[in-house]
A and B are shown apart, each in its own frame.
Chain A
Amino acid sequence: MPRVKINQPASFFYKTSIEIGVGHLNYGNHLSNEHILSFAHEARLRFFTELGATEFDFWGTGLIQSDAEIVYKSEGHYQDIIDVYIDIAELSRVGFRVNYLMSNRTTGKDLAIAAVGIVCFNYAQKKVQDLPIPFKEYLDSIEKIIL
């Protein structure tokens, strides 16, 4: 049977925390599956904001998501604090992958691992663009978080 395989990263460029709210729960009274992607997006934007970039102006280009993979590890419940760790990998000429570890600080268990593909994209021209060099330089310059 096919199964999503994501390599769990061991070091990270960024960490942020998100609390599970009542609007994140589903009929099972636990975090609904789609919110993992919302948490991933929120964490990614916080990271980019810290770099002084946005998804509309990422050193002169825009960003678009090409794919996503999620492996669900455990349940999340109301008011649990989720630590979201971000790693950037597989830099190519036009994009990169964002790998996530979501760890439930309240239960001490991993909540999910996820990966999304990001492509540099000019929304006005509808064209793929080159990955900005300052982003690569930034990644080379900072010390990663080791778990």
Chain B
Amino acid sequence: MQIESHFKIRGYHCDSYGHMNNARYLELFEESRWQMLDQGDLVNQMKRLGLLFFVVNIEVNYRRPINDGSEIVILTSVSDIGRKKMVIKQEIWSPDQQILFSDASVNFVLFSEKEKRAFSIDENVKRLFEKFKHA
């Protein structure tokens, strides 16, 4: 399953070029990830387990500029679940999904508040995230 998040790009997202600033992409990607986590009730479940989401790597490709007033859809899914890390794949498309504006790969760990280190992903937690894998 992948999550669709819809946004309209406003003036405050843009920089002096009139297109969305490169750092703003990360904000919208992050908002979309939280929407995915909300849909799976993962935020509450991770809180109960005392786990925080820590981003460790991000790779972004800026394929086309996104101008003020544009409507976009962000597709978010889990692409890989490892022993310590997970990878989330995200893409920004036009609403008809004909134009790809950007894509990103985000690696994160679940950080144990109690143990103060990265949590080893067990089968229980893995199952919670696997529903967001997309073929």
Binding site for B on A (CB under 8 A): 1-4, 28, 33-35, 37-38, 41, 55-56, 64-72, 116, 123
Contacts and interface: CB of A to CB of B under 8 A. Distances in A.
Nearest to A35: B23
A116 B58 CA distance: 12
A100 to B, nearest CB: 13
B27 interface: yes
Interface in B41-99: 52, 54-62, 65, 80, 82, 85, 87
A96 to B, nearest CB: 15
Given A34-B30, A41-B22, A65 B62 contact: yes
A71 B80 contact: no
Given A28-B54, A41-B22, 12 more contacts: A1-B80, A2-B105, A3-B57, A3-B107, A4-B57, A37-B23, A55-B17, A65-B22, A65-B62, A67-B62, A68-B22, A123-B17
B26 interface: yes
18 contacts: A2-B105, A3-B85, A4-B105, A33-B26, A33-B58, A34-B30, A35-B23, A41-B22, A56-B16, A64-B17, A67-B59, A67-B62, A68-B22, A68-B59, A70-B59, A71-B57, A72-B54, A123-B17
Which interface class (under 10, 10 to 19, 20 to 34, 35 or more) fits B?
20 to 34
Nearest to A37: B23
Given A34-B27, A68-B22, A4 B62 contact: no
A72 B22 contact: no
A33 B23 CA distance: 9
Given A2-B87, A2-B105, A37 B26 contact: yes
Contact of B56 (A65, A66, A68, A71): A71
Contact of A68 (B52, B54, B58, B80): B58
Say whether chain B's binding surface is mostly helix, strand, loop, or mixed: strand
A22 B55 CA distance: 20
Contact of A4 (B59, B65, B80): B59
Residue from A28, A37, A64, A71 whose CB has the most chain B CB atoms within 10 Å: A37
A17 B27 CA distance: 23
Q: Which of B23, B61, B82 has the most CB of A within 10 A?
A: B23
B10 to A, nearest CB: 16
A64 B66 CA distance: 13
B80 A2 contact: yes
